Structure 1
Amino acid sequence: MENLNMSELKAVASRCSQYSPMGGNQFTSSAGQNEESCSKCEHYENSKCTLDLIDQIKSNMQ
């Protein structure tokens, strides 16, 4: 898997059926804090998806 930028991580997360935000669905008052991103998913550790879905989702986006 190549290193993805934040925009790509957001795009992948928005299309991922297994996306699960860390800590559940918490609401914050800061703008942008509720955006989906792989980096905010409980399946994302050490800069990679533990379910190995990022490459598959990214290839389906193209």
Structure 2
Amino acid sequence: MAVQWRKSSYSGTTNDDICVEVACFPSGVGVRDSKNPGLGHLALTRGQFGRLASGLKKQD
């Protein structure tokens, strides 16, 4: 089964904007830079990703 990366709806549309993609894996969640997908991804457990997302929402 191919991994499906989804781009954040908060990612911008210009080259200067930060663009993030996420994908679900059996072992957790992958996060990568959508402008440089070949550089790899950060592998997080579902709990780690939940804490990351929660912390980012508090920053908003």
TM-score (norm 2): 0.27
Larger Rg: 2
Greater fraction helix = 1
More strand by share: 2
Query: Normalised by the size of structure 1, how large is the TM-score?
Result: 0.27
Q: Report which structure shows greater RCO (CA 8 Å, sep ≥6).
A: 1
